[in-house]
Amino acid sequence: MTSPTILPWHAAIVDLDGTMVDTVGDFDAALNRTLAELGQPAIGRAFIERTVGKGSEHLIRRTLAEVGADAALYEAAWAAYQRHYRSINGAHSAVYPGVPEGLQALRARGLRLACLTNKPGEFARELLARKGLDGHFDVVFGGDAFERKKPDPLPLLRTCAALGTTPAQTLMVGDSSNDCQAARAAGCPVVLVRYGYNHGEPVEASGPDRVIDRLDALLQP
């Protein structure tokens, strides 16, 4: 039997929305319940897909602007959105094919794993548990864990510190330019999945080291 190739990484940081779980249905339900409660028009999925990835604050502000609502509604919208999201989290979402297998393969090769998302940490931990993915991760950090979110490199640098690895030894796996820019600025190698949410742009445009169609393709040449 041939021995497996030595991997250049000691750990991997994996994004959540658009990388491990297709959550656009959850965003759709929470946002449109929020808009209805505020007496605002509904928003379509295409807009939501283009806009997720920079955290809830950004999504809510952009949604209010898109439907022509008064920006002063932000505080009420934020509170309603949190309440609605908590009540539906995971109900309209599905794990992408190859994700459990890909995570398992990385762990089997001895990598430490972190989930790093711009989603609030409470919702991220709950979603991972509901989808049976929580057991793969040594640490989970949400968008409210640090002073700044991706595409700032700070969350990646702090996650590497928590994992006890250097950025050069730590692979970032994501679906968007936010993940790619953060990884480049932090000094992490970066692989993007093709199927997620990248603000309507092809993932190749942000210049990742590699693009894959399934997470379990990561360890294949």
Ligand X SMILES: O=C(O)COP(=O)(O)O
Range in contact with ligand X (rule: CB under 6 A) among 10-18, 76-84, 202-210, 211-219: 10-18
The CA–CA distances, whole Å, from 16 to 59, 67, 76 equal 16, 27, 26
Q: Which of 15, 22, 28, 179 is catalytic?
A: 15
Q: Is 209 annotated as a binding residue?
A: no
Binding site for Mg ion (CB under 5 A): 15, 17-18, 53, 175-176
As a whole number of angstroms, the distance between CA 110 and CA 141 comes to 21
The CA–CA distances, whole Å, from 199 to 9, 129, 202, 213 equal 28, 27, 9, 18
Shortest distance, position 81 Cβ to Mg ion, whole Å: 18
Task: By CB under 6 A, name the one of 26, 49, 53, 100 that touches ligand X.
Answer: 53
Q: Is 15 a catalytic residue?
A: yes
Shortest distance, position 63 Cβ to ligand X, whole Å: 12
* Closer to Mg ion by Cβ: residue 80 or 192: 192
Shortest distance, position 54 Cβ to ligand X, whole Å: 5
* Element holding 185 (H helix, E strand): helix 177-186
Shortest distance, position 12 Cβ to ligand X, whole Å: 15
As a whole number of angstroms, the distance between CA 132 and CA 101 comes to 12
Please tell me whether residue 22 binds ligand X under the rule CB under 6 A: no
As a whole number of angstroms, the distance between CA 157 and CA 23 comes to 26
The CA–CA distances, whole Å, from 7 to 11, 136, 142 equal 10, 19, 27
As a whole number of angstroms, the distance between CA 167 and CA 171 comes to 8
Q: Which does 112 bind (CB under 5 to 8 A by kind): ligand X, Mg ion, none?
A: none
Residues near ligand X (CB under 6 A) are: 15-18, 52-56, 117-119, 150
Q: Give binding residues as ranges.
A: 15, 17, 175
Q: Which residues are annotated as a binding site for Mg(2+)?
A: 15, 17, 175
